[in-house]
A and B are shown apart, each in its own frame.
Chain A
Amino acid sequence: SQQGEEDPQALSIQEGENATMNCSYKTSINNLQWYRQNSGRGLVHLILIRSNEREKHSGRLRVTLDTSKKSSSLLITASRAADTASYFCATDAGQRGYQKVTFGTGTKLQVIP
């Protein structure tokens, strides 16, 4: 079953604009990660934010986490055509000493040159 739900399901923006994607989840987590997937390819890890962190940056990416609302957002600034991909949030709620990651349904981002 999918733990998280991304919103919106699809997003189309012009190159240079910012893109914001949201993720909501259901249970307590150890950490939350964002992945990118180009069409028909494997997933690429973007950023991990731990449950005791509220905000994290990596290059043009900014992730926030609100554990009280069980939600996270991914902001991509100054988007590029190469950012066109599906973006998934993944929550780790593993309690057995390993990372049991549950993925959301994804946001499909299209950046128009």
Chain B
Amino acid sequence: DTGVSQDPRHKITKRGQNVTFRCDPISEHNRLYWYRQTLGQGPEFLTYFQNEAQLEKSRLLSDRFSAERPKGSFSTLEIQRTEQGDSAMYLCASSGDREGETQYFGPGTRLLVL
């Protein structure tokens, strides 16, 4: 068990560019979550996967955001036409599927949109 990993750890991009982040959850975890955290705030829920199915999306996830988990293992989060307001830390977490299971977080991808 190597924990949740995220790649890249840092991304600097220019406004209008597309970016894609990857999350590799703990291997036996069926559930995968994406969060966004801005400076001085707690993480905010973006979306949730049960295996490959995306079961809930936050209203924070505009049409420019898309997340996939094609084989029920790793997940990608893509932001199209980035805006300066997208600058944040993007956190991925995974958990088992029993009630009340702990979510284990990755180190995050810090995005800066210039």
Binding site for B on A (CB under 8 A): 1-2, 4, 30-31, 33, 35, 40-45, 48, 50, 88, 90, 92, 96-106
Contacts and interface: CB of A to CB of B under 8 A. Distances in A.
B7 to A, nearest CB: 13
B58 to A, nearest CB: 10
Contacts, number: 69
Contacts of A99: 31, 95, 99-101, 103
B42 A2 contact: yes
A103 B42 contact: yes
Contact of B105 (A1, A31, A40, A44): A44
Contacts of B106: 42
Contact of B100 (A50, A88, A102, A103): A50
Given A42-B91, A96-B55, A96-B56, A102 B103 contact: no
Interface residues of B, number: 30
A104 B42 contact: yes
A31 B102 CA distance: 11
Nearest to A100: B45
B48 A43 contact: no
A106 B44 CA distance: 12
22 contacts: A4-B42, A30-B99, A30-B100, A33-B102, A41-B107, A42-B106, A42-B108, A45-B104, A48-B100, A50-B100, A88-B43, A96-B55, A97-B99, A98-B50, A98-B55, A99-B100, A99-B103, A100-B48, A103-B35, A103-B42, A103-B43, A105-B40
B22 interface: no
B45 to A, nearest CB: 7
Contacts of A101: 33, 45, 103
B110 interface: yes
Given A42-B108, A96-B56, A98-B55, A103 B44 contact: yes
Contacts of A102: 45
